[in-house]
Amino acid sequence: MDATEFGRILRRKRENLAFIVGNGINHYAYQDNKSVDWNNLLLYLWEKFSFRTRSVIPEGISMTEFYDLLELEAGSMGKVKEAVISYFADWKPVKYHHELSDCLSVWNVPVLTTNFDLNLSSDLNLKNLPEYKFTDFYPWGSYWSNNDLTDPVSGFGIWHINGMVNYKRSIRLGLTEYTSLASRTRQYLHSNDSLESFDLKNRNHWQGYHTWLHIIFNKSLCIFGLGLGKDETYLRWLLIERMKYFKKFPDRRHQGWYVCLRNNNNEGNRQLLDFLGLEVVELEEYKDIYERMLGIS
């Protein structure tokens, strides 16, 4: 299946579709003009706060664990978050970011992102669903759009899974923070300590209805520009919860696709994606993923 054919499939399912995008959109946008690797961010922070030299992240430690060690080294979570925001201040939207944002707004579907930067939303306005009590620590009812949404699945809006730079306390980079996210999410999904109760996941009558969580459980998902590797601890866990929910309520299940370059996905990831009900779509080149599939000319 080529990019054009897959794009047609997605368009036929547009009424029931949401995208999840990651840092791959920045890699594609900047090409070789800017380094946007997460490793570079962590090493930048380490150099800023530690007196010990680190040229690489040691083998055997995840990036999320390394960030936790970094906070211990710095002695202040607030200072590290301020440095993260300062780092992203240099990330400015370029032509592709505007093209992608315009294209996705035409698709008129929800867009979830694991990115902290606002490159994709630079032409949009920050809005909040009034039914969700706002907190800058968990701004889960906040989205970027030029339209007011009645709920998260009703149209185009960009929602930040791991926080965004304009709310310092919302940014999640470490394993401890991901664990905290999962704990809070469980309170939304389950009304008691049962691992698979989902008593609060009744369509329009659950605690997460006015948050981006509602998109995860009530839309088919197309994931691209996201490695979804072992460092994506929280999102991987959330997708596992999604599959548990579908198995408990088969009539509510939705589809999913994970888009990547051909032969650019390891066996462990393939098995996980298959378990999560995500079809792996392999395309030939980056332009297929970031332009042709979406209809960007």
Q: Quote the pLDDT of residue 265.
A: 78
Q: pLDDT tens per residue, the chain (297 residues)?
A: 999 999 999 999 999 999 999 999 999 999 977 788 888 999 999 998 888 888 888 888 999 999 999 899 888 888 899 999 999 998 999 999 999 999 999 999 999 999 999 999 999 999 999 888 899 999 999 999 999 999 999 999 999 999 999 999 999 999 999 999 999 999 888 866 555 667 555 566 788 889 999 999 999 999 999 999 889 999 999 999 999 999 989 999 999 999 999 987 788 888 999 999 999 999 999 999 999 999 997
Q: Quote the pLDDT of residue 203.
A: 62
Q: Quote the pLDDT of residue 37.
A: 87
Q: Which residues contact 288 (CB under 8 A, 6 or more apart)?
A: 2, 3
Q: How far apart are CA 20 and CA 238, in angstroms?
A: 13
Q: Quote the pLDDT of residue 230.
A: 87
Sign of the dihedral through C-alpha 132, 178, 161, 247: negative
Give the pair of three-digit tokens for residue 135.
């907190």
Q: Quote the pLDDT of residue 200.
A: 52
Question: Cα–chain-centroid distance for residue 85?
Answer: 18
| pTM of the full structure | 0.94
Give the pair of three-digit tokens for residue 174.
């470490």
Q: Quote the pLDDT of residue 125.
A: 97
Torsion of CA 18, 98, 128, 17, to 10 degrees: -10
Closest by CA to 88, choosing from 50, 122, 49, 115, is 115
Domain chopping of the chain, boundaries: 3-32+93-292, 37-90
The conformation of residue 28, written as its DSSP 8-state character, comes to H
Phi-psi region of 181 (alpha: psi -120 to 50; beta: other; left: phi over 0): alpha
Give the pair of three-digit tokens for residue 84.
């993260």
Closest by CA to 273, choosing from 244, 248, 243, 246, is 243
C-alpha to C-alpha distances, 195 to 115, 185, 189, 209, 233, nearest whole angstrom? 29, 12, 10, 20, 18
Q: Quote the pLDDT of residue 50.
A: 85
Q: How far apart are CA 55 and CA 174, in angstroms?
A: 20
Closest by CA to 122, choosing from 150, 149, 91, is 91
Closest by CA to 224, choosing from 107, 57, 56, is 107
